Structure 1
Amino acid sequence: MKKTNLLLVLGALLVFFSSCNKDDSAPATKADILANKVWRITSHTVSPGRQTQDGSVITDLFQYYGTTYQDDVVRFNRNPNTYTFEEGPTKSDPTGDQVFNAGTWMLNSDETVLVLQSANGQFFSYGQIVPISEEDVIIVSEGSATHLTNYNIVDLTATTFSYNYAYRLQQNGPVYTETITYTAE
């Protein structure tokens, strides 16, 4: 009888402690979510709208990309933190390089700002020339330029990644905010 009671108590304790076992896996960080996926651009907007030469105002910049840019992708890798912007299936130059921009990336300490450092000093923006703003830093050393660009993360989930950045086209002109959204493939 004592052995049976002892076995019941030990069994109950074993069940109790195994059910109270904490999940040892930590929640994914934004860096973990961003990395090791292929992100395809799905939206690019500007606010306030930009006036075109014919006087109309546009907010949807993605419609002007054309098919050779609409299927481009970006990849973020970890250890080391590198990124690549790559041509999609419809390349603008069939004989050109698959990767058209690459470098390193990091997130700030609270994972709200993505910092890209281009390996070739290139400033990257889809479909337009954007003047360098206060959020951008260029470091020149020994004849080479390194370009750092900060992007404010708007949304980052397992399936959606969007960021924005602000700039002025003229010194005292309006501040435009562009938001670019990607979907994980």
Structure 2
Amino acid sequence: MIHVLLLTYLKPRDIVSAHMAEHKAWLRDHADRGRILLAGPRADGGAVVVTADLDEATVRELIETDPWHRLGIASYECIPFEARTASPGVITAAEPDDSVVLINVATTEDAPATVDALAEAVRHVAATADGFRGSRLLSSVDGDAVVNFAAWADEKRFRAIFDDPGFVRRYEHFARTTTGAKYRLYRTSRVITPDR
């Protein structure tokens, strides 16, 4: 389960600020370990932390190790939910699993046509392929390249799309709009978050 943690400040702002560095070090440690996906202040005071897919015992351990919790600076409200949809690039598994990320880079002389053709192939996959978790299509600032950044449950289910004539036909159309295209599959090796 993903957990949304709502932090409410129990101490004045100067005490919160005095222990901000310790809290940020805690956030960074757990973000780098893949346990925390998002964190930040709330407009109305307090803060929000969104965890990766963690069991309740791990979430309890996470909360109990936060300096703000240990020092009585903030209380936590925990809202668990089952994440069924995520934007490509958001990896919710805290520990490495069989999932893969596809990065397909295509050079092109007509980025809009290449994006349109690639979008047709990806929409077909979205409607038919088991294990597809989503895709993000990017165009280079210079307009000479298109990137497909897609998440898959595992390599086997990704490779199965090439057995689908409907996908192959659409992918061949996409390839004709490019001057070259190459894809690779990747797994997460390490996560490094901003140090601020």
Higher helix share: 2
TM-score, structure 1 normalization: 0.23
Q: Which has the higher contact order (CA 8 A, sep 6+)?
A: 2
Q: Rg: which structure is higher?
A: 1
TM-score scaled by length of structure 2 = 0.22
